[in-house]
Amino acid sequence: MHILVTGVAGFIGFHVAQALLARGETVIGVDNLNDYYDPALKHARLAQLTGQKGFSFQPVELADRDAVDALLVPASGVTHIIHLAAQAGVRYSLQNPHAYISANIVAQINLLEAVRRLPGLVHFVYASSSSVYGHAEKAPFAVTDRTDRPLSLYAATKKADELFHYTYAHLYRIPATGLRFFTVYGPWGRPDMAAFLFTKAILAGEPIRLFNGGDMRRDFTYIDDIVAGVLATLDHPPADTGEAPPHRVYNLGHNHPEKLTDFVAILEEALGRKAVLDLQPMQPGDVYETAADITESRRDLGFSPTTPLSVGLPKFIAWYREFYRV
């Protein structure tokens, strides 16, 4: 396989590229290395990939149509795409909405338009989000549940991506699968996520903000389990029967929501320090609980997450202490 991985210097993209290279695939990594969070972390991830057999890197801005067209030409040999590049973050979408339109809408259309002219594409896997469920009427969330009531612009753009892919699968028979990720954490994680923010604050003796007074539940999913799900998805493109569009959507989550206060307690034990809590009201765009129904991904992909929070969080902390020398 010749696999294009977008967002390759990002958290999930980096780990997915590592796994693909480990099994002998050719990976063309793409990233714009923007400054949404410290670019030094992105460069450090990229340095881990650079020089590995089968890996090459292209610094491409996916919102630039001409750059995408130049990237995805027949001579590139790309047979599979794993599109993980996006502007992430629910709360940041309230501050900088245009960044989400550029990275999550314009970039997606640019890729789809380039891909429909690319011969030999086997599968287009792309990242969606559990945020599309909004104020779900029940938990766990099933892929058949209603997803037309997003609570943030970020969620709205991710739902739009699913609709774009369905349409292009219908019109141009592009085999595509969307993955709704549920609160991914682990080594090399994003600095704007809870594990990173809380660990940094606890070590510094600074307060950590818990929204809704700490009464929230999240389906925290360890990165190795997510990577296994992404690779299994890549290897199982939807069949084109000539009737329904060759497009599917799956949940990738741990299937075991945890209380945010329990999450903090595990961090405290692993770090050997107590957290200073700053209890805040619920924030606009947030949801009380996320919970993945993985019936379809377990059945079709063999997806079976195995890493509990009590194992995954200490692994994150070990990486954090080594990387930041604290």
Please identify every residue annotated as catalytic. Answer: 154
Among 326, 219, 196, 212, smallest CA distance to 267 is for 196
Q: Is 180 helix (H, G, I), strand (E, B) or coil?
A: strand
Other beta carbons less than 10 A from residue 37's beta carbon: 18
Task: Give all strands (DSSP E) within 144-256, no chain letters.
Answer: 176-181, 184-185, 207-211, 217-218, 221-222, 247-252
Q: Are strands 217-218 and 258-259 parallel, antiparallel or unpaired?
A: antiparallel
The kind and range of the H/E element at 166 are helix 153-172
Helix (H), strand (E) at residue 82:
strand 80-83
d(CA 86, CA 161): 11
Q: Say if residues 257 and 139 touch (Cβ distance below 8 Å).
A: yes
